[in-house]
Every structure is written in structure tokens, then in C-alpha cells.
Amino acid sequence: MQVPAPFEYQRVSTVDEAVTLLDRLGDTARLVAGGHSLIPMMKLRLANFEYLIDINELHDELGYIRAEPGRIRIGAMTRHRELLESDELAAAFPIFRDAERVIADPVVRNRGTLGGSLCQADPSEDLSAVCTTLDASCVIHGMNGERVVSMEDFHQGPYETAVGDAEILTEVRFPVRPRGSSAYEKVERRAGDWAVVSAGAAVWLDEAGLIADARVGLAAVGPNTAGIAGIADALRGQAPAEELWARAGDIAAEACSPVTDRRGSAEYKRHLARELTVRVLRRAVARIDGQEV
């Protein structure tokens, strides 16, 4: 049995309580939500914290999926399983259900949370790629109220985020635009493994059926999940077509920075960035047309 080093444990029941405690304990403390990344790291003694602040009681306050005109707000304590099972979310952003189906396993999905996934900031993390693809923004709560940062600014390096020592991510917001859809695909060595590479795409058409906007997010091919800005530039104003997806795939392959590891060679990952970009763009557009769900 792997056992962590000694630590103290405190359960909190409000966001303010969590922030106050964090402010007092500084970087010796860490929030634990689902705990499926943090606890194994502590058991392996790769991470050692003096204090764990358990925020699972905040699920009542921060576990929600709310559709409003023009946006969807998801509480940071919303669990993977709730994201997977939400028909409302799947209707607006099918990419969520695509991704949740291939994240870890049911045991992890029962506990793990959206906020925990983003704050772990693993370069291979799937929901980070989903949020990047959907141009999400993150609400961070601290002693002096809350601030909102874009996904681009949220991740600041592998396992590093914009969330300060005395702050907590409370909500993620997603803009909803008309005539859009999305898709996600992941290549893994085995079910439940981290991605070798994964890609998300979201596409919006204008009234003429041309591409109004398109976003692609990739995981496991750089220090953080990456939104590929060049793809939006190349696709906007164009009519959906296979050649266009191929060009987007080339851009993705060019823009990413994979490294060789046990999951695969850098060349293979670059190939996958291309292949998966093509597949998810094709699928997202097919979904707009109602051809595929």
C-alpha cells in the first residue's frame, strides 16, 4: 500500500471559507476536489502538502450546468459524470460527451471535477482541450472578489495555472453561438490512459453556410493544451470542404510541439495532430448539418 506523508485535513463548506483558509495557510495547503490526481501523487510522495482543504461539500454550491442566453456556465465542482450525462450540455456542445466518454474510467468520472481537471493543468488533460476549443473563460475567486481569465491565460505551463495561492476556480463559462457544433477525438494506448494525442474542434457557420469561425484545441502535444489560432484564420469565410480540413490538419501538425515518450514518437504525434484535426473538423461540421450526432 502506498501511503502519503503526514498532512492535516480540513473540510470547508463555503467558497469564502476555502479562500480564507488558503489565505492563512499559503502554499503549504492545497485544495482537494475529486482527488484522483492529487491523492495518487501524494501517495507516491511526488507531491507533499501540509494541509489538504477538502472542497467536496462545495458541490451543492459549485456543481451545476446552467444554460443562459448566449452562454453556458458550469460550476467548477461539476463532476465528470454530470458533464457526461447532461443532455443539455451535449445538445449545445457535443464535444463534452465525446470527451467524457474517453476520460479515465467510471470510478474516476464519479469523483473527478471540471475545476480539478483544469487546475491540475496536465498537458494531456482532455477537458482542458475541450475548454480551449470552446473558447471558455474561467472565474477565479479570491479574497478580493472574483476575476475572469481566458483559457489562453489560465494555463501558464505544465501543471501551472493563473489561480493564485489564495484563490479558487469557481466557474467556467462557455459562449454559445448559433449554427455551431463540435467534436472530440482521442487516441490512447488503452481505455483510460492519458491521450497520446487528442483534438477538439468547434465550428460555426454563417447564414450562407460559410465558416464563421472555427477553433481547434489539441492535448498532449505541448506544454499545455493548445488552441491553434492559425486554423481559425485559414478557415474563416471558407465553405466547408475536405481540402480545407486537410489544410487545417497541416497547420495543426506544424504548430504543435510534441516530444517522444512511452506513448509515442514525436513524428507519430505530429501525424495524429493532423489526422485528428481533420476528423474532428469533419465531424463537427457534419453535426451542424445534423448528419451525425
Partner 1 sequence: MTTVASNGHRTAFVDNDRKPTGHGRMLRKEDPRFVRGKGRYVDDLQLPGMLHLAILRSPLAHARVLSVDTTLAEAHPKVRLVVTGAMLAEKGLAWMPTLSNDVQAVLATDKVRFQGQEVAFVVAEDRYSARDALELIDVEYEALDPVIDVRTALSPDAPVIRDDLEGKSDNHCFDWETGDAAETDAVFARADVVVSEDIVYPRVHPAPMETCGAVADYDAVDGKLTLWSTTQAPHAHRTLYALVAGLPEHKIRVVSPDIGGGFGNKVPIYPGYVCAIVGSLLTGKPVKWMEDRAENLISTGFARDYVMRGEIAATRDGKILAIRTNVLADHGAFNGTAAPVKYPAGFFGVFTGSYDLEAAHCKMTAVYTNKAPGGVAYACSFRITEAVYLVERIVNCLAFELDMDPVELRMKNFIRPEQFPYRTKTGWVYDSGNYAPTMELAKQLAGYDELRAEQAEKRVRGELMGIGVSFFTEAVGAGPRKDMDILGLGMADGCELRVHPTGKAVVRLSVQTQGQGHETTFAQIVAEELGIPPQDIEVVHGDTDQTPFGLGTYGSRSTPVSGAAAALVARKVRDKAKLIASGMLEVSVADLEWEKGSFRVAGDPNASVTIQDIAMRAHGAGDLPEGVEGGLEAQICYNPENLTYPHGAYICVVDIDPGTAKVTVRRFVAVDDCGTRINPMIIEGQVHGGLTDGVGMALMEMIAFDEDGNCLSGSLMDYLIPTALEVPDWETGFTVTPSPHHPIGAKGVGESATVGSPPAIVNAVVDALAPFGIRHADMPLTPSRVWEAMQGRPVPPI
- Helix (H) or strand (E) run with residue 287 in it: helix 266-288
109: enclosing H helix or E strand: helix 106-111
How many Å separate Cα 32 from the centre of its chain? 18
Total site size for partner 1, rule CB under 8 A: 28
Among 57, 61, 193, 292, binds partner 1 (CB under 8 A): 193
Closest approach of Cβ 100 to partner 1, in Å?
A: 15
7 makes contact with partner 1 (CB under 8 A):
no
- Shortest approach of partner 1 to residue 98 CB, angstroms? 15
Among candidates 61, 63, 79, 56, which has minimal Cα distance to 9? 56
CB-wise, 105 or 206, nearer to partner 1? Answer: 105
In angstroms, the CA 146 to CA 171 distance is 10
Nearer to partner 1, 68 or 243 (CB): 243
Segment 44 to 73, residues that bind partner 1, using CB under 8 A: 44-45
Q: Does 192 bind partner 1 (CB under 8 A)?
A: yes
Q: Per-residue DSSP letters for 110-158?
A: HH-BHHHHHHH--TT-HHHHHHHHTT-EEEEEETTEEEEEEHHHHEEET
Does residue 187 bind partner 1 (CB under 8 A)?
Answer: yes
Q: Is 111 in the site for partner 1 (CB under 8 A)?
A: no
Bridge partners of residue 67, in order along the sequence: 72
* Shortest spacing between CB 214 and partner 1, in angstroms: 20
Nearest to 180 by CA among 199, 200, 198: 200
CB of 209 to partner 1, least distance (A): 27
Q: Rule CB under 8 A: say whether 36 interacts with partner 1.
A: no
| Dihedral, 247, 253, 255, 256 alpha carbons, nearest 10 | 150
Which residue among 263, 282, 283, 287 contacts partner 1 (CB under 8 A)?
A: 263
Contact flags string 124-163 toward partner 1, x per CB under 8 A: ----------------------------------------
Which among 285, 110, 109 has a CA at the least distance from the CA of 212? 285
According to the binding rule CB under 8 A, does residue 107 interact with partner 1?
A: no
Give the residue among 152, 157, 213, 206 at the shortest CA–CA distance from 179. 206
Q: From 1-9, 89-97, 171-179, 233-241, give the range in contact with partner 1 by CB under 8 A.
A: 1-9
User: Does residue 6 belong to the site contacting partner 1 (CB under 8 A)?
Assistant: yes
- Of residues 209 through 248, those in contact with partner 1 by CB under 8 A are none
Q: Which of 51, 50, 33 is nearest to 168 (CA)?
A: 33
**CA-angle at 164, arms to 65 and 20, nearest 5°:** 80
Q: Which is nearer to partner 1, 116 or 180 (CB)?
A: 116
- Least Å from the CB of residue 190 to partner 1: 5
Bridge pairing between strands 168-175 and 137-142 = antiparallel
- For partner 1, the binding residues (CB under 8 A) are 1-3, 5-6, 44-45, 105, 187, 189-194, 196, 262-265, 267-269, 271-272, 275-276, 279
